[in-house]
Amino acid sequence: MPKLTAEKLQAQLAAQKVSPVYLLTGEDTYRKQEIIQKIRGVLQPDDFNFFTSPADKADLGEVLALANTAPVFSTARMIVLTGIEKLRKEPKAALMRYLTDPLPTTTLVLTHNDAKKIKTDRALTDVCTANGQVAEFAELKQAELNLWAQNKLKARGLTADFEAVNLLCQSVGTELAALENEIEKLALYAWDRTDKKITQEDVLACIGFSKEENPFELANAILSCNKTKALKLVTKLLDDGEEPVAVLSKMTFPILKMARIKRLSEGGVPSGDIIRAAGLFPWEGRLVSAARSFPNQKQFLTTLNRLIEADAAFKSGTGSDPQITLKGILLTLFR
């Protein structure tokens, strides 16, 4: 039986369906904790019937004895063991014996945080699948992250277009706790508005940038092949105190993206496949159609060599004038 998706597990819990065993795999600890709280919300165990501990810090003998004990003055007991990938051989063997015949009135929740190790631990996933549920919480990819943020905004009565959500996710990254915090700030920022729509300017204001300081403006100028604007932004960023290596990083990502798109396009790959292979958002399809105006492959290769040289020079402190170096890269790309 395949692993459940997080969405299917959420649907089961919404229907008040609870299993005696849950194995939550993957590296997204934030969403695992959300699910654990939802399981607890369904079971509603009191403090006498709820126990949680890192697996390697717990006395597994006592924990499993507790798991095999009927709840006290309650209909359910809940036990949470986190990080079971750290268990040693003997405690893990004892846990496996319990998992073959779990007590129906106990819900045992296990979290496994090593995505590589779980792939080789077939016995654990098999026994948990046979007697409970296995759900995977892999780190969200770009489109999934945007959808997650969109749903969190909606839950707070806010709306946002793709550009605003994309900017929010790119600015904060894949750390969901930090992203949740920024969404909470946006909710407070817009609480007195009749129109609860969040704009890109709102996102920039809440994460500490002004409209003129959009951290992706340089990348957008490069992707649009706007040489004049890109050169001006390099000057502005350096004048504002940005480290040369940081500006170089902001240039490298869009240049590599353009090179991938150009190579795939010239290789005759269909547009839809290019979007997936280049890791683009669905609404970035315009970049595929714009590939014909991108620099040629020879220019990309020369530019990439200059990027590598500049990175080594900046980090070793042996480079010449950073502004000349960075602008030289752009001029090489767009010559």
- Residues of CATH 3.40.50.300 domain(s) within the chain? 6-136
Q: Where in the chain is the domain with CATH 1.20.272.10?
A: 217-333
Q: Tell me the residue ranges of DSSP E strands in 60-126.
A: 77-82, 106-111
Look at residue 241 in the predicted model and tell me its pLDDT.
Answer: 86
Run means of pLDDT, 10 residues per run, the chain, 335 residues:
77 92 90 93 93 93 95 92 92 95 96 86 92 90 88 92 86 82 88 88 74 69 89 89 87 89 86 76 72 88 91 81 91 90
Give the other-Cβ count within 10 Å of 8's Cβ: 12
- CATH 1.10.8.60 intervals, the chain: 142-213
| Residues 6 or more apart in contact with residue 273 via CB below 8 angstroms | 264
CA distances, 118 to each of 9, 75, 97, 126 (Å): 19, 32, 18, 11
Residues 6+ apart with CB under 8 A from 247: 218, 234, 237, 238, 322, 326
In angstroms, rounded to a whole number, what is the distance separating the alpha carbons of residues 169 and 172?
A: 5
The CATH class that applies to domain 217-333 reads mainly alpha
Three-class SS of residue 317?
Answer: coil
For residue 62, the model assigns a pLDDT of: 94
| pLDDT, position 127 | 94
Pick the CATH number of 142-213 from 1.10.150.120, 1.50.10.10, 3.30.160.270, 1.10.8.60: 1.10.8.60
Task: Give dist(CA 42, CA 241) in Å, integer.
Answer: 52
What CATH number does the domain located at 6-136 have?
3.40.50.300
pLDDT of residue 215: 67
**pLDDT the model gives residue 179:** 87
What is the end-to-end Cα distance of the chain in Å, rounded? Answer: 56
- Between CA 115 and CA 133 the distance in angstroms is 17
Record the tokens describing residue 15, joined without a space.
Answer: 């229907």
pTM of the model: 0.61
CA angle 219, 225, 229 (to 5 degrees): 70
